[in-house]
């Protein structure tokens, strides 16, 4: 996993705010998020449900479902600010330059059309292509993602595939036009454990083959460890910590990150499972200041008042916490020594 961490930036998100304007109130799902995605890297985007990781990726593609709306921020991609693009411009980017795969292939594939039709829809959305040319390309794609008997199976419907195979179809769809950036939103959560590894390996393989950047959105620290070189940790719509994966595991700087790491059960060492007390905060009326402060052992008065900004702790390691200097957090215990 040697990557040149000085490599170029592919996508730069700055101060992104995406809110949902619901009847019950304004849900501040993504509230001031900034991070970069570098060319050719595998970036982890980690956090509990409700952290805003999915919404952030949807915001990049600008397909946040109503009543959501991105109200602030910039997203720089290949010299453009995506948030200023017209719908037509975005459509030519979606699927072609930036793609996304979702958690549950049973619901992300259209049940009434064959695999061939759906893949062809993507191809023809971006280029003029004949049925025959599409057919060839589709077989290629299906072979690429490891679906056997592509020629016959392309005429089948999603429900005729197993979970793992369905996800491969979804991956084929996402990669049909060789995007430079792929978001993978919990791609293995809905699959059997045995299949999970296969799909993850496939993703890694394809990423190398196609030279694209991959963003692994997950809450599973194991996947982070296996696949990513850099990680962004999110909590309740904010970014807590950004670091190289190794650095993150060896020396987490944010109490939340430490707790996340400590909450992973391990077989090789006996230890009590550390639980993070409390619940995910209400995003309509989030806690003041640092959103994690009600659950944080080390919170001070300042943490309650002002939300902390990302500071560079060491090269390529950023944290948004006032107390990082005073803490020596361990990923094992989740506490400071």
Partner 1 sequence: MLESNRAKGGRAGLPNRLRGFLGSSMFRYIIRRLLYMIPVAIGISIIAFITMYAAGDPVALATAGKPNLTEAVRKALTAYYGLDKPIPVQYLNWLANILQLNFGKSLYGGQPVNHIIGPRIWPTIELQIVSLLIAFGISIPIAVHSARKPYSKEDVTVTSLSLFGVSMPTFWFGLILIIVFSYMLGWLPSAGAAGNPYLWWGNSTLDTIAHLILPVTVLVYVSLAQNIRLIRANMLEQLRSDYVLAARASGISERKVVYRYALRNAITPAVTFLGIALGGMIAGAPMTEYVFGWPGLGKQYVQSTLNLDFPTIMGITMIITVMTLLANLIMDILYVYIDPRVRIR
Partner 2 sequence: MKTENDKPIARQKRRSASQWAVAWRRFRRNKAGVAGLIIVLAVVFLGLFGDFFAPYPAFPNPHYLDPLYKGDVRKPPSATYPLGTDGIGSDVYSDILHGTKYALYVGVVVTIITMAIAITVGAIAGYFGGWVDNVLMRFTEVFLVFPSLLFILIFVRVFTLGAGVGTYFNFLGISVPVGLTIVVLVLAIFNWPGDARMIRGEFLRVRELEFVEAEKALGAGNRRIIFRHILPNILSSIIVVASLTIAYAILLEAAVSFLGFGDANTMTWGQILENNFNYMQTAWWAELFPGLAILITVFGFNLLGDGLSDALNPRLRD
Encoded tokens for 66? 């109503």
For 210, how many CA atoms within 13 A lie in the half-sphere containing its CB? Answer: 25
Question: Cβ closer to partner 1: 161 or 235?
Answer: 161
Binding mask 125-144 for partner 1 (x = CB under 8 A): xx------------------
Alpha carbon of 203 to those of 62, 185, 227, 228: distances in Å?
A: 24, 12, 9, 12
Q: Least distance (Å) from partner 1 to the CB of residue 278?
A: 30
- Residue with Cβ nearer partner 1 (17 or 96): 96
**Residue in 157, 229, 251, 282 binding partner 1, rule: CB under 8 A:** 157
Q: Rg (Cα) of the chain, in Å, rounded?
A: 21
* Min separation Cβ 125 and partner 1, Å: 5
In sequence order, what are the residues at sequence separation of 6 or more whose Cβ sits closer than 8 angstroms to the Cβ of residue 76? 11, 12, 14, 82
Give the residue with the Cβ less far from partner 2, 254 or 295.
Answer: 295
Helix (H, G, I), strand (E, B) or coil at 139: helix
Quick one: which segment of 109-117, 133-141, 212-220, 300-308 binds partner 1 (CB under 8 A)? 109-117
Residues in contact with partner 2 by CB under 8 A are 20, 22-23, 27, 65, 67-68, 277-279, 281-282, 285-287, 294-300
Instruction: Residue 61: name its binding partner from partner 1, partner 2, none (Cβ under 5 to 8 Å by kind).
Output: partner 1
- Give me the residue label for tokens 């004949």: 130
Contact 138, 116 (CB under 8 A): yes
Q: Find the binding residues for partner 1 in span 169-198 (CB under 8 A).
A: 170, 173-174, 176
Q: Rounded distance, CA 182 to CA 89, Å?
A: 18
SS3 246: helix
- DSSP annotation of 253: -
- What, of partner 1, partner 2, none, does residue 6 touch, CB below 5 to 8 Å by kind? none
Q: 65 or 265, CB closer to partner 2? A: 65
Q: What is the closest distance, in whole angstroms, from the C-beta atom of residue 290 to partner 2 in the complex?
A: 12
Rounded CA-CA distance 304/284 in Å is: 17
Residues that bind partner 1 (CB under 8 A): 58, 61, 63, 65, 87, 91-96, 99-102, 104, 107-114, 121-122, 125-126, 157, 159, 170, 173-174, 176
């Amino acid at each position: 996993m040697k990557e040149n961490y000085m490599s170029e930036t592919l996508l730069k998100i700055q101060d992104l705010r995406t809110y949902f304007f619901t009847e019950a109130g304004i849900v501040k799902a993504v509230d001031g998020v900034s991070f970069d995605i570098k060319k050719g890297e595998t970036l982890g985007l980690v956090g509990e449900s409700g952290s805003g990781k999915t919404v952030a990726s949807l915001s990049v593609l600008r397909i946040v479902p109503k009543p959501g709306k991105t109200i602030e921020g910039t997203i720089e991609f290949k010299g453009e600010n995506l948030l200023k693009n017209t719908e037509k411009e975005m459509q030519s980017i979606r699927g072609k330059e930036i793609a996304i795969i979702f958690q549950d292939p049973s619901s992300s594939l259209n049940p009434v059309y064959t695999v061939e039709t759906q893949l062809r829809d993507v191809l023809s959305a971006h280029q003029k292509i004949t049925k025959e040319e599409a057919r060839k390309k589709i077989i290629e794609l299906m072979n690429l993602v490891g679906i056997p008997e592509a020629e016959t199976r392309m005429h089948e419907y999603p429900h005729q595939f197993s979970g793992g195979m369905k996800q491969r179809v979804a991956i084929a769809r996402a990669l049909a036009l060789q995007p430079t950036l792929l978001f993978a939103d919990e791609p293995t959560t809905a699959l059997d454990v045995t299949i999970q590894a296969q799909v993850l390996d496939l993703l890694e393989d394809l990423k190398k083959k196609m030279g694209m950047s991959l963003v692994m959105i997950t809450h599973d620290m194991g996947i982070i460890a296996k696949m990513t070189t850099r990680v962004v940790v999110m909590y309740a719509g904010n970014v807590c910590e950004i670091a190289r994966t190794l650095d993150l595991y060896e020396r987490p700087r944010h109490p939340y990150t430490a707790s996340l790491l400590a909450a992973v059960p391990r077989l090789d060492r006996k230890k009590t499972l550390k639980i993070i007390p409390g619940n995910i905060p209400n995003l309509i009326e989030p806690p003041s200041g640092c959103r994690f402060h009600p659950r944080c052992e080390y919170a001070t008065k300042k943490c309650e008042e002002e939300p902390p900004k990302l500071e560079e702790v060491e090269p390529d390691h950023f944290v948004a916490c006032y107390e990082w200097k005073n803490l020596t957090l361990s990923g094992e215990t989740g506490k400071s020594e």
